Amino acid sequence: MSSITQEPALPQTPPVSPRRAELPVVSKGRRTARPYLLSVPAVLLIIGILYPFVKGIVLTFQGSNAQTLRNPPWVGFRNYVRVLNPDSTFFIGKATWITIEYAVLATVVETLLGVGVALLLNRSTIIGRIFEKVLILPLMIAPAIAATVWKFMFNADFGVLNHILGLENFNWLSQGRALYSAVLVDVWIYTPFVAILVLAGIRSLPKEPFEASAVDDAGPLYMFRRLMLPLIWPYILVAVIFRFMDCLKIFDIPYVLTGGGPGVATTTLQINAFNDLIKAQQYSRGTTYMFILWVLVFITARVLVGVLGKAQARAAGAEE
């Protein structure tokens, strides 16, 4: 971990070269101040980002929209009441449910597939060796562009998927299926992310335990569950944290695919807030949705990071 660099003490020995004699003596005050001075620009930047954030929280207590932009009235908790009341038109429940369904589904599928792909590549199959370099390509295409391409492929009338799979006029983006199709695109993009993280984890493992248990005729399943899984669990968790948190704020894939539709079938919380901003121009309502999502993300992050810390401690213990 980070070590503490100390200024060299004044040389005890007589100076060998004239340059050494000029070694500056740095006062303690300057030494303590140094890291803070280096961080000043970054702190200013954080303040610059936090200002709109705080302004956003203020907005949730106002009634700001396109008409009242200059002088928004204070409304207290009315936005929250409206958004959290199940009988209200603007109830947050539907969008929250869609968001969580998307996030859980995508994270679970990507984790399972990603670990699977990592295991396959670790077996150094011939095909795996050939294609390993291009594993990350889907991850590097902008999700908005990838979703555009998938949208064409999903097209019911002449999309290539129906053509290949022999489905006639199968509607991938119907009311009932659009969310799953969006998850499919997410899986296509982000499974490589899980895979390369887990693969890096597997490759960093010591080989001896595996050789020893191979000598003992341990089956591959036993080796995976008892030896590998506990050791790579922290890597899997890092991937899960990144994926789940990103999925909670998913916007571009469903937005490009269906614009949040059909109806509200893929309207996640962020798409909901976006519609409030651009279409309804209800700035306060949109921000209220986002603040609730932020709280959700914050709590999830706390929980997941705690789990990760425990898993890392356990894996470190297991390795010794």
The footprint of another protein on residues 95-134 (CB under 8 A) is: 113, 116-117, 120-129, 131-134
Instruction: Sort residue 217 into left (φ over 0), alpha (ψ -120 to 50) or beta.
Output: left
- Residue 319 touches another protein, criterion: CB under 8 A: no
For the bound state, the minimum distance from the C-beta of residue 260 to another protein, rounded and expressed in Å, comes to 13
Give yes or no for residue 46 binding another protein (CB under 8 A): yes
Which one, of 193, 288, 187, 297, lies nearest residue 239 by Cα?
A: 193
- What residues from 230 to 289 belong to the interface with another protein (CB under 8 A)? 235, 238-239, 242, 245-246, 248-249, 251-252, 255-256, 269-270, 273-274, 277-278, 283, 286-287
Q: Annotate each residue in 167-206 with x if it binds another protein (CB under 8 A) or - if it does not, as one string.
A: ---------------------x--xxx--xx--xx-xx--
Whichever of 87 and 234 has its CB closer to another protein, that residue is 234
Binding of another protein at residue 93 (CB under 8 A)?
no
138 binds another protein (CB under 8 A): yes
Instruction: Report how many residues bind another protein under the rule CB under 8 A.
Output: 116
- Binding another protein (rule: CB under 8 A), the pick from 80, 90, 180, 294 is 294
Q: Is 67 a residue that touches another protein (CB under 8 A)? A: no
Rg (CA), the chain: 27
Two structure tokens written together for 106 = 């995508």
Q: Identify which of residues 74 and 87 has a Cβ nearer to another protein in the complex.
A: 74
Question: Which residues, at least 6 apart from 293, have a Cβ–Cβ distance to it below 8 Å?
Answer: 99, 248, 249, 269, 270, 273
74 is an interface residue for another protein by CB under 8 A: no
- What separation in angstroms does the CA of 97 have from each of 105, 287, 293? 12, 18, 12
With contacts defined by CB under 8 A, name the span among 1-9, 76-84, 100-108, 170-178 that binds another protein: 1-9
Contact flag: residue 136 with another protein (CB under 8 A): yes
CA–CA separation, 251 vs 258, rounded Å?
11
Q: How far is the CB of 308 from another protein (least distance, A)?
A: 9
Sequence-distant (6+) residues with CB within 8 A of 95 are: 264, 267, 268, 269, 271, 272, 289
Closer residue to another protein in complex, CB, 77/298 = 298
What DSSP letter does each residue of 188-243 carry, written as one string?
HHHHHHHHHHHHHHHHTS-SHHHHHHHHTT--HHHIIIIIIHHHHHHHHHHHHHHH
* Closer residue to another protein (CB): 15 or 76: 15
28 sits near another protein (criterion: CB under 8 A)? no
- In angstroms, the CA 218 to CA 221 distance is 8
